[in-house]
Chain A
Amino acid sequence: MSKLFLNFFLLAVMIFILKGPFEWLVLNSVWSGSSSDCQMHTGACLAFVRDKMDLILWGTFPGDKRILLCGYFLSFFASLFFFFQSRRKIEVKFGVLLFSFVLESFFLWPVSISKWNGLLLVLYVFKGSYLVAFPLGLFLAVVRRYGKGFWRMGSIGLIEFVRGMPLIGLLFMASVMLPLFLPVGWEIPKIIRLFGAYILFVSATLAEIFRGGLEQVGKGQMDAANSLGLRWPTTLMKIILPQAVMPMMVPCVNVGITLFKDTALMGIVSMMDLTMTSKMALKDLDWGGYVTESYLFITLVYFFFCFLLSYLGNCLRKRAVIH
């Protein structure tokens, strides 16, 4: 009896909270038409999102070259699903990811890099920085575990420094401080500098995860390989790393999801990511400020990709449990 009461209580609370948003988003919303149609209704103006969807997703990407985006997304999703669903070796998977990244860059080559806005920028930075950060993080972790002397100390220093900083601080450093440390006359585009910040941040996070993996590999493994007469690089590549990396794939996917969410910070250092393109769309005087609708839209976009990644990561975990 009390269970029934508790269930009804939750239902009542949910209805009380969600009634307003539901009416606003579903019952009274306007799906098509112009600004004047929206003003006649009290609900959400989804016609605005429909009209400005292109601008929010792609920003200033030239309209006549949208066909290139088809190739980009084909390559992106194909490589993503290959990475998660294939059962090949991790080296092969990463090779395919790298190849697809180069392919995507070629697809987008005809368009100037300053016009890769919105979702395109987010996806490009996400994939590029994860691809570079993965081997770099592995390298840092191996140096931290097996390195000697100052090499080890340097690795620890770098990892702890980056992990102690908030990512937004690193982004500020990359956008404001880094140009002062470059040789006189050098100009590195801002996007590349931000890439550097993301790569550092993710590789430090991944290095900590790989360190956990490396510490799980027994010391006997190394001794056994030594007694077989294997050389140090062979031991590392064939014995240690496969045992250290494979159990850590699920945490690595979680780091990937965190990285995807962190790409939303690029707007704060005035890169044209989804938040900035939605602000650009809101400047249109014909429509007025439908801020809530545009935020809901980009929230939905981010949710779609993060949920996809966590779903694929879950599949990976289930398969790992079965094996």
Chain B
Amino acid sequence: MPCRLDKHLFTHYALPFLLFSLFSLALFYNLFSNLENQGLRLGFSFLTQEAGFEIGDKFFFSYESTQSYLHAFLIGLSNTVMSSILIIFFSTLLGFILGLLRFSSLKLYSLFASFYSNIFRNIPLVIQLYFFYHILINYLPSARESYNFFGLDLFFLNNRGLFIPRFGLTDFSFSYPVLEGFNYFGGSHFTPELIVLVFGSSLYAAAFISEIVLAGLKAIPGGQLEAARSLGMSERNCFSKIIFPQSVKIIIPPLTNQWPSIIKNSSLAVAIGYPDLLSVVNTGLNQTGKAIECLSLIILVYLLLSLVSSFFLNYIAKKFQYKNE
């Protein structure tokens, strides 16, 4: 179609531009008059001020409550990213296991997996998180009576979280948790909030991923299996050499589409008080009252995250594209 810019210049470009600028002008006029009325001023200078609140989970970074808001927000961002990676890993693993169970010829197992998926998909994630958090805080034993996994005195689970040994990769150090007084010291510590977030979100996302895996496995035509059997392959080889490799190519694109929603769902951490980006910024917002600045930071970071993840997903989708040779 020939480009007739002169004819459509007004309706396609000038009119929407005019409307949009009028709209945003009105919004910003309102914003500034509102701010003037309330005696507030815009500005990001608060980012360098002292944050004054503690953050429980820091993964590899250091943070003190005397450090700046910017530092606290960055810790929140790293928490979001790390917890999302953990959730993606565990949910993919569990989702594949459940999907394979649903595909299996053992009726009891497929029944169990389909029950699981139907129950966990139909309950809001935030209520599951509330529930698990309540269970973990109130029904797990205290530090003195904590679960000692395998009797090794290395892994402990109690109502203050999970304690595991830590290996220093740079200095080859090794430390393991030891009970001193009412708590464990040394090793790595995962707070109950992180455990509940990763555990609950993984269970929830695994239910969806199991559906995807099942659909991918069912998409392989039955003739493939029959052909493999007629070649004399064992059942095990039929599955691992014929069915599974083909279905992986079908499974990967919708599976990776789940990841952005997992990253977005990790912001529900704010419900149970895990210091992810949203909840740290929300704390900062409540302390400083800088609503516009804080929420525009949130918008910026989440848009960047979704942009990065969509580039990454496009790369993966290209890599796993189903080529019909």
Contact = CB atoms under 8 A, between A and B. Distances in A.
Interface string A197-208: 000000000000
A275 interface: yes
B176 to A, nearest CB: 29
A302 B109 contact: no
Interface residues of B, number: 51
A11 interface: yes
Contact of A275 (B13, B35, B125, B130): B130
Interface in B20-55: 20, 27, 30-31, 33-35, 37
B291 A177 contact: yes
A307 B118 contact: yes
Interface in A273-303: 275, 291-292, 295-296, 298-299, 302-303
A184 interface: yes
A78 interface: no
B131 A299 contact: yes
B292 interface: yes
A3 B106 contact: yes
B247 interface: no
A264 B124 contact: yes
A1 interface: no
Interface in A140-154: 148-151, 154
A167 interface: yes
A74 to B, nearest CB: 24
B87 interface: no
Contacts of B121: 306, 310
A176 interface: yes
B12 A150 contact: yes
A165 B302 contact: yes
Given A10-B108, A177-B291, A149 B134 contact: no
Interface in B271-320: 271, 278, 282, 285, 291-292, 295, 298-299, 302-303, 305-307
A257 B207 CA distance: 15
Interface string A149-168: 11100100000110111111
A10 B27 contact: no
A232 interface: no
Contact of A302 (B8, B124, B278): B124
Contacts of B285: 176
A176 B124 contact: no
B70 interface: no
Q: Is the interface of B mostly helix, strand, loop or mixed?
A: helix
Nearest to A14: B112
A169 B267 contact: yes
B30 A295 contact: no
Contacts of B295: 169, 172-173, 176-177
B308 to A, nearest CB: 11
B303 A7 contact: no
Contacts of B307: 164
A26 interface: no
A140 to B, nearest CB: 14
B127 A165 contact: no
A262 B135 contact: no
Interface in A1-60: 3, 6-7, 10-11, 14
A132 to B, nearest CB: 19
A267 to B, nearest CB: 8
Nearest to A262: B124
Interface of B: 8, 12-13, 16-17, 20, 27, 30-31, 33-35, 37, 106, 108-109, 112, 118-119, 121-128, 130-131, 134-135, 138, 264-265, 267-268, 270-271, 278, 282, 285, 291-292, 295, 298-299, 302-303, 305-307
13 contacts: A7-B108, A10-B109, A148-B8, A163-B306, A165-B264, A166-B264, A166-B265, A177-B291, A181-B31, A264-B124, A264-B126, A299-B123, A310-B118
Given A10-B112, A168-B267, A265-B268, 5 more contacts: A7-B106, A11-B108, A164-B307, A166-B267, A184-B30
